[in-house]
Chains A and B, each alone.
Chain A
Amino acid sequence: MAAKALTALLTVLAGVGAALALYWVLNKISEMLPERLEERLKPYFYILPAYAAIVIFVVYPAILTVTYSFQTKVGFPTQEFVGLQNYKDLLSNEAFRQTLLNTLLWIAVVPALTVVLGLMVAVLADRLQTRGENTVKTLIFMPMAISMVGASVVWGLIYDFQPKGRPQVGIQNAIVTSFGGDPIAWVQENTFHLNSFLLMVMLLWMNVGFAMVLLSAAVKGVPGETLEAARIDGANERQIFFRVVVPQIRVTLITVFITVLIGVMKVFDIVYVMTRGNFNTNVLANEFYLQFFNNNDQGKAAAIVVMLMIAIIPIMIYQVRSFRAEEAGR
């Protein structure tokens, strides 16, 4: 293991060293150019490696993915153009439609609930003294630092199921059995999509802290005079919150919502680790993984990604527009 650690360290140094060397060389090249040309071209030299990384790893593969989605299994001798067949196959498949429905459920529930809970904690904690507020925030925020795999260990214990008669290790089944009920295999229980909702709880647990941190800062940024003015006009606390505070933190609310939304659209780890997509908990990202690795059907995997990309485009447009607005106001 020591040898492995050393190899790892050396590769780290080599990797960072290569990046340093690259810039030194690029700068030397630009300095060898005639002076007028140097001034003109230097900016492009500076952004070249960054742009190369983005084009090679994001743009070019994205284009390839779109073309793959119109083909059969990519890389096999039988690779051929099949038009929209992959999309037709997927959308006419009942299991895939169920996967889409599950993903929509996640989208409908998680972002909105995260924002509401995050705002609630932010506003409540704001009323504590600084020390108490910071402690509360750190405790709620901490799950954000751990991986979804770690979260699956945490919640795997909560949802743990032991057959009837054996001592229950999971707290939910311990509660159920202490009231005389039979233990429930929570992650397998699909009535009313219960298991999907239980997985959503995990993502909520991880994301509420993030929403809280951003929204708390926004709430603190609301000018005190606007609150005072509303009070003088006779508004009650509820009116002040919904008519004065919420409109002023609108931008942050949207940012948090969109961030969580993007995360939810591509949620993978939780489903993969907890159920492998079984028991009707499958979502798009996990289906992508299954098509890609289990079915070895790169065409369908690519088609799923394209559907995801189409859903992301409106967010992308919003992102660019709000960036432009921000720049204009700078």
Chain B
Amino acid sequence: MTTPAVVTEPELETEKKRPKGKETHDASTGRAGWFVYGALAVIVFLWVVPTLGILLTSFRSRDDSKSGGWWNLFLHPGQFANLTIENYDTAINGTNLGEGFVNSLAIALPATFIPILIAAFAAYAFTFMRFWGRDVLFIIIVSMLVVPNFVSFVPMLRLYRDYTPLGGTFPAVWLFHVGFGMSLAIYMIRNYMSTLPTTVIESAKIDGASHFQTFWQLVLPMSVPVLASFAIFQFLWVWNDLLVALVFLGPGEKAPMTVAISQLLGQQGQGQEFVTAAGMFSMILPIVVFLSLQRFFVRGLTAGAVKG
């Protein structure tokens, strides 16, 4: 599978260097008239204002926040002097959100790293080994991509409870994410591996390297970009998940941030300045990961577009 999101067409690049806004006779891309600027300005404004609203509200004092919306900051600039980080202090130390942050990490990290290795081995076999039933077995994995995780909740909760000591523990959630992330991981990694030069692998074989050695020393290092893409995609997926955590862990001392905040939102009478601080706190890590590793994330998203 190609990853079109990271491909830049050289000829389009040069076209873009033309001065903007000037009408040229060959009407092509790179032309931005007032309509384009206007429309984009409106869309970007609509997209950014909601986030800006909670960002500003989260720093406002309780009294200011009660007296009106965040836009009052701009109507009465004097209120900028009242901005405070107290709300974050209350959110992190006054509630179980700090604990939720640790729980979210404890859930998301293993749920990200365990499937990578397992999937890489399987992807290696599907790409470089010949065996009976290979194509059918891979087609089954492709068809599993779109299966929503709802199908497993009722039986898995029961299986965990009746046959394992895993009921209500972190490993129960990891394993569930491993199972449902697996088909995507194999699909992505295999598609990437099949673009690796086969000659390199062939020559390693001739030099007497075993499959195990070829995998560890050659194919795995060469596959680092796709492993990173999957890791970021899966990490954000698990970090942002509410339903799986709600089903297998529920509210309580093991609850991740998504569950803790959804409980918070369910309670009446919470001030918006506090709720927004809690919300911002839960978004910091995904936004940092996203902004710093956008390129990998986009590639993961492109390849993982079909995840069910």
Contacts and interface: CB of A to CB of B under 8 A. Distances in A.
Interface in A294-328: 298, 301-302, 305, 308-309, 312, 315-316, 319-320, 323-324, 326
Interface string A249-271: 00010011011001001101100
B174 to A, nearest CB: 6
A126 B153 CA distance: 43
Interface stretch (A92-100, A106-114, A154-162): A154-162
A7 B258 CA distance: 21
Given A4-B102, A169-B272, A149 B242 contact: yes
Interface residues of A, number: 122
B176 A57 contact: yes
Interface stretch (A80-88, A136-144, A188-196): A136-144
B301 interface: yes
Contact of A54 (B16, B170, B183): B183
Given A217-B7, A320-B142, A47 B126 contact: yes
Contacts of A213: 5, 298, 301-302
A61 B134 contact: no
Contacts of B175: 53, 57
A61 B291 CA distance: 37
A295 to B, nearest CB: 13
Contacts of B241: 147
Interface stretch (B43-51, B77-85, B196-204, B222-230): B43-51
Given A213-B302, A217-B7, A308-B150, A20 B117 contact: yes
Interface size class on chain B is 35 or more
Contacts, number: 359
A8 B28 CA distance: 55
Given A23-B117, A46-B121, A220-B8, A54 B131 contact: no
Q: Among B12, B47, B57, which residue has the most Cβ atoms of chain A within 10 A?
A: B47
A48 to B, nearest CB: 8
Best-buried of B17, B44, B152, B175 by chain A (most CB within 10 Å):
B152
Interface string B1-22: 1001111110111001100100
A43 interface: yes
Find the residue from B66, B126, B272 having the highest chain A CB count within 10 A: B272
Contacts of A255: 305-306
Given A64-B155, A157-B50, A289 B243 contact: yes
Contacts of B16: 128-130, 133
B61 interface: no
A146 B283 contact: yes
Contacts of B118: 19, 49-50, 53
B279 to A, nearest CB: 3
A25 interface: no
Interface string A215-230: 0111011001001000
A19 B48 CA distance: 42
A174 B69 contact: yes
17 contacts: A15-B171, A56-B179, A57-B156, A57-B175, A57-B178, A65-B155, A127-B32, A127-B36, A145-B286, A147-B283, A262-B148, A262-B308, A272-B242, A292-B153, A292-B247, A301-B153, A319-B145
Given A51-B122, A146-B286, A167-B69, 11 more contacts: A8-B170, A19-B118, A44-B131, A57-B175, A121-B40, A121-B43, A144-B290, A149-B258, A171-B69, A259-B305, A319-B146
Interface of A: 1, 4-5, 7-9, 11-12, 15-16, 19-20, 23, 27, 40, 42-44, 46-47, 49-51, 53-54, 56-62, 64-65, 68, 74-75, 120-121, 124-130, 133, 136, 138-150, 152-158, 160, 167-171, 174, 205, 208-210, 213-214, 216-218, 220-221, 224, 227, 231, 237, 252, 255-256, 258-259, 262, 265-266, 268-269, 272-273, 276, 285, 288-289, 292, 298, 301-302, 305, 308-309, 312, 315-316, 319-320, 323-324, 326, 330
